[in-house]
Amino acid sequence: MIADALVPEYITRRQVDRALEALARIPPSDDPEVVARLGVLHGAVAAMTGEEPDAHLSQALALLPELSEPTAAVVLQRAGVACFYARRATEAEGHLLQSLWLCDANGMRWLAARTANVLYGVHYHLTGDFQAARYYAEVEGVEAVAAGDAEMRRLSLYQQYDLAVLFGEWSRAESIRNLVRRESAPDAFGYALTLRTSDCLLHAHSGDFAAMRGTVELLLKEARETPDIALARAFMALALAGLGLDEEAHGEARRALGLSRDPAGVAEFAHLTIRRRIAAVLASYASILVGDVVHGTRALEVRGKWSGAIGTLARSLVDNAVRGAQVDVDDPNLRSIKGCAIASLAARDARLSRLRRELATVRTLTDTELVLLRSAASGKTNAEIARERGVTRNAVERRLMSAYEKLGVKTRAEAIAKLDSAQS
């Protein structure tokens, strides 16, 4: 099943041709676990190519009652990926939450990190619920650290940096950016674009318009989607205005406004729609900064009729323009500079706190040791655990003794109590 292991990575990197080649090399099987795993992979590839994944997914999901919990977690995660690429947020979230629950129950931290990553994507790209995206980015980071997964840890940092800027939390953003600088360069997932965008806003906040201009130039080389180019042009207009290059800034603002128009009849990901609208608002304001007050104010007033945080941003900027005042970056209406409303999600916060407590207590345990401890906590004997996992009883006992030593306990009861305390 080497190809089965490679295909998810090809899907993650959107390498459709390589995924199809790998799938073609896998021989047919009557094993329900193999059939289900391959079915959801075919569904994900189908969704990536614009086809409906339903036929593949329904066959795979019908086999769930016959699958072991670890396999079910894998199948549900991949079904969530397929629904994500099909832009079906509700179904994607449902499958992924079930997978995350099974990952928690079976100590599958590596998969839990990837499941949280897709949940982040569902909310960032499909629903525009950035508070939920923030939560899952943090869960992804916690699970990745526990699993020793450096790649997912980096992705989590990129996401958390972007979201800190999105919420206007500049000190937190600077702190996370320093962590990002110590990590390796952006990888094939395309997070360079996210980093550049957030860097632009961080430079704008600090008033370093020369650095902002340099970052925008890099951003323009990397941007592929029209909304991203529009946003980059709007940033360039602001940077040039900050440097006193009014005529050039005005030209960039006009370009950004032209690119930011919503295409008629085109369904976009939520984050692309938001980028278009932010580009329009910022480009309109840049026009005001360089002296085109009548046109810029009229454009902002129109955009101030939009609902949500972007409308609030536009109304606040036009109020500043009418008064001739400088923008107060600490104004609560402007803290959501990239367009999100902060909501209270106590249940999610509570679960994240539990994960952090568990991580602090058991971060030195391996996935296997965690699974064995949870099996012991369910009342199974060492012999039963050994039969279930297909290993010798001595192997189980050695692993448990290693776990006891790491937890600083001497007995099974003490280890279970410590694990329970960490999860309560």
3-state SS class at 183: coil
Distance CA 242, CA 145 (A): 40
Query: Class of 190-321 per CATH?
Result: mainly alpha
Write the DSSP assignment of 55-103 as a string of letters: HHHHHHHTTGGGS-HHHHHHHHHHHHHHHHHTT-HHHHHHHHHHHHHHH
Does the pLDDT value for residue 321 go beyond 50? yes
Asked if CATH classification 2.30.30.100 holds for the domain at 364-423, the reply, yes or no, is no
How long a stretch of residues is the chain? 424
pLDDT at 399: 87
| 9-58 confidence digits (pLDDT tens) | 667 766 777 777 777 778 778 888 888 988 888 888 888 888 888 888 99
Highest average pLDDT, of 105-109, 325-329, 338-342, 349-353, comes from 105-109
Rounded distance, CA 355 to CA 144, Å? 12
Q: Mean pLDDT over residues 116-122, rounded?
A: 94
The least confident of 240-254, 319-333, 388-402 is 319-333
In 279-301, which positions are buried (b, 16+ CB within 10 angstroms) versus exposed (e)? bbbbbbbbbbbbebeebbbebbe
Instruction: Give the C-alpha separation, 419 to 170, whole Å.
Output: 36
Rounded CA gap, 14 and 127, in Å? 21
Separation between Cα atoms, residue 265 and residue 252, nearest integer Å:
26
Angle at 44 between CA 138 and CA 36, to 5 degrees: 100
CA distance 285 to 254: 11
What was the pLDDT predicted at 398? 87
State the DSSP code for 184.
Answer: P
With beta carbons less than 8 A apart as the criterion, state whether 192 and 162 touch.
Answer: no
pLDDT tens for 210-260 read 898 999 998 898 888 898 899 899 989 988 888 888 899 999 999 999 998
How would residue 122 be classed by pLDDT, with cut points 50, 70 and 90? very high
Q: What is the dihedral of CA 101, 107, 109, 115, to 10 degrees?
A: -20
- The answer to whether the predicted template modeling score (pTM) of the entire model surpasses 0.95 is no
Alpha-carbon distance of 151 to 64, in angstroms, equals 30
> Does the pLDDT of residue 396 top 80, yes or no?
yes
pLDDT band of 348, cuts 50, 70, 90: very low
Instruction: Name the nearest CA neighbour of 199 among 174, 226, 228.
Output: 174
Hey, how many other C-beta atoms are within 10 angstroms of the C-beta on 28? 7
Instruction: Answer whether 406's CB lies under 8 Å from 369's CB.
Output: yes
At residue 246, the pLDDT reads 86
pLDDT at 356 exceeding the cut of 60: no
pLDDT in tens, 280-310: 888 888 887 777 777 888 888 888 888 766 7
Asked if the domains 1-105 and 190-321 are classified in one and the same CATH topology, the answer is: yes
**Res 15: pLDDT:** 72
Higher pLDDT among residues 69 and 186, named by residue: 69
Task: Say if CB 129 and CB 123 are below 8 A apart.
Answer: yes
Using only C-alpha atoms, what is the Rg of the chain? 25
Average pLDDT score over the chain: 80
Stretch (H or E) spanning 300: helix 293-303
**Ranges of each domain in the chain:** 1-105, 107-187, 190-321, 364-423
pLDDT of residue 421: 62
- Phi, psi dihedrals of residue 321, rounded to the nearest 5°: -65, -40
340 band by pLDDT with thresholds 50, 70 and 90: very low
Q: What is the mean pLDDT of residues 319-326?
A: 60
Handedness of CA 352, 357, 359, 365 (dihedral sign): negative
Confidence band, pLDDT 50/70/90 cuts, at residue 6: low
349 falls in which pLDDT band (50, 70, 90)?
very low
Q: Summarize the confidence of residues 260-281 as an average pLDDT.
A: 80
Q: 300 versus 336: which is more confidently predicted? A: 300
Indicate the residue type of 126: L
Rounded Cα distance between 120 and 129, Å, is 9
Looking at this protein, which amino acid is placed at residue 273? Answer: T
CB 305 within 8 A of CB 338: no
Q: How many CB atoms lie within 10 A of CB 189?
A: 15
Per-residue model confidence as pLDDT tens digits over 133-188: 999 999 999 999 888 888 888 889 989 998 888 777 878 888 998 888 776 555 44
Lowest-confidence range among 64-68, 189-193, 231-235, 292-296? 189-193
User: In this structure, which topology does domain 1-105 adopt according to CATH?
Assistant: 1.25.40
Percent above pLDDT 90 for the chain = 22
